[in-house]
Amino acid sequence: MSREEFRALVAGSATGELLNLTAPLSLWGGLDPDTGLIIDRSHPELGQSMTGAIVTMPFGRGSSSSSSVLAEALRLGTGPAGFILDLPDSILVIGSLVANRLYGTVCPIVVGRLPSGSTGRWVIDQDQVIPMPGSGSGPAA
């Protein structure tokens, strides 16, 4: 199990396939809330879907409209299951909190680092982040 330390920015539980973003993303201009797809033409993960994923990202970049885009994606059911960030990001935090208030959606956000090479299905549960059986970290540990 992971010995990494995590801190919950937005509390909650979620399970999903990891989507590891290798560069910061601005959700505004970067995520299409109608489809859940990454649309930033300069982003390495262009075209991938955030829907239902546990998204790992160094930090949120760019526009302050990203909170609205996250809330809208969560309303439409195209949003991610949760976020694991290297650095805290209040723009994503407020987007998740407002969607929860308006629509009862749950999108936990934790700060901390997964071991490099982590893949598969993972669970965020408050300030714990754990792999599902068969998932894990590193190349064939």
Partner 1 sequence: MLLSDQDRAMLTGRSGEAVRTAMELLIAVAESEEAPALLDISAAHIDGGLYHGEAGLDFARGLVDGGGRVVVPTTLNVSSLDLLHPELYRGDPATAKAARALMEAYVAMGCAPTWTCAPYQLVSRPGPGDQIAWGESNAIVFANSVLGARTARYGDFLDICCALTGRAPATGLHTDEGRRATLLVDLEVPDRMLDDDLFYPALGHALGEIAGAEVAVITGLDGRAGEDRLKSLGAAAASSGAVAMFHVAGVTPEARTVAAATHHRAPSRQVTLGIPDLIRARESLNHGEGPLGAISVGTPHFSVHELDHLGRMVAGKVSKVPFYVNTSRDVLDEFEHTGSIAAIEAFGATIVTDTCTYITPIMGDVDGRVMTNSAKWAFYAPGNLGVGVVFAGLEACVSSAVSGRVEIGEVW
Q: Which residues bind partner 1 (CB under 8 A)?
A: 9-10, 24, 26, 28-30, 33, 39-42, 58-69, 71-72, 74-76, 87-88, 90-95, 97-99, 101-103, 109
Q: Six-digit token pair at 52?
A: 């239902």
Catalytic residue status for 65: no
**What's the closest the beta carbon of residue 70 comes to partner 1, in angstroms?**
9
Residues 6+ apart with CB under 8 A from 38: 25, 30, 31, 45, 46, 47, 48, 49, 50
CB-wise, 59 or 128, nearer to partner 1?
Answer: 59
Q: Which of 2, 49, 63, 137 is catalytic?
A: 63
The nearer residue to partner 1, 54 or 93, going by C-beta atoms, is: 93
Question: What residues act catalytically?
Answer: 63
